[in-house]
Amino acid sequence: MDDKQSKLVTDAVDEKIKALEPSQRQAKIFCEAFHAIARLCHETSALKGFWKSEDRGGPTTYEVDVPKRIALLHTEVSEAFEGYRSDLADDHLPDESMFSVELADVIIRIMDMSIAMNLNVEGLVIRKMVYNITRPPMHGGKKF
Ligand SMILES: [Mg+2]
């Protein structure tokens, strides 16, 4: 493919992506919904005792064991991998695949952490995607 053909493909891809870009209203609705569900994730986790080994002194004074929380994220990703590899049904929601339920667990844990650490993950999803739209195909010369 020559440079001219490559530019045509890139322009076509950019046009498709632009058509999918959320409006400001959609981004606001996403952020508000994400935050509300994230609060549910965190309060449920805390009330079920999963935060008691870490300081819960108040919303701005959390001492979060970040390496532990990241390791727990890894466990959910690994469970998704195993569910996919072995084509398993989920233990708790047997009408669903373990793969998709474990991916949901990854999101739940990220939401939980975002509240515990007062992170703006929801806003960063939008902001990072707006940035990603501007990146060239296979940016940085990546193979996949
Ligand atoms: Mg899980």
pLDDT in single tens digits along all 144 residues of the chain: 788 887 887 788 878 888 888 889 999 999 999 999 999 999 999 999 898 766 555 554 567 889 999 999 999 999 999 999 999 999 999 999 999 999 999 999 999 999 999 999 999 999 999 899 888 888 888 888
Enter the pTM of the model: 0.85
Q: State in Å: Cα 83 to ligand 1 middle.
A: 10
Q: State in Å: Cα 67 to ligand 1 middle.
A: 18
At residue 53, the pLDDT reads 63
At residue 29, the pLDDT reads 96
Q: State in Å: Cα 48 to ligand 1 middle.
A: 15
Alpha-helical regions (H) of 21-139: 24-47, 66-86, 98-116, 121-133
Query: Taking a C-beta distance cutoff of 8 angstroms, is the pair 41, 76 a contact?
Result: no
At residue 109, the pLDDT reads 98
At residue 114, the pLDDT reads 95
At residue 105, the pLDDT reads 98
- Cα–Cα distance, 37 to 8 (Å, whole number): 41
At residue 2, the pLDDT reads 83
The CB density around residue 117, as the number of other CB atoms within 10 Å, is: 13
Reduced to 3 states (helix: H, G, I; strand: E, B; else coil), residue 23 is coil
Q: State in Å: Cα 102 to ligand 1 middle.
A: 5
At residue 35, the pLDDT reads 97
- Sign of the CA dihedral running 23, 26, 28, 30: negative
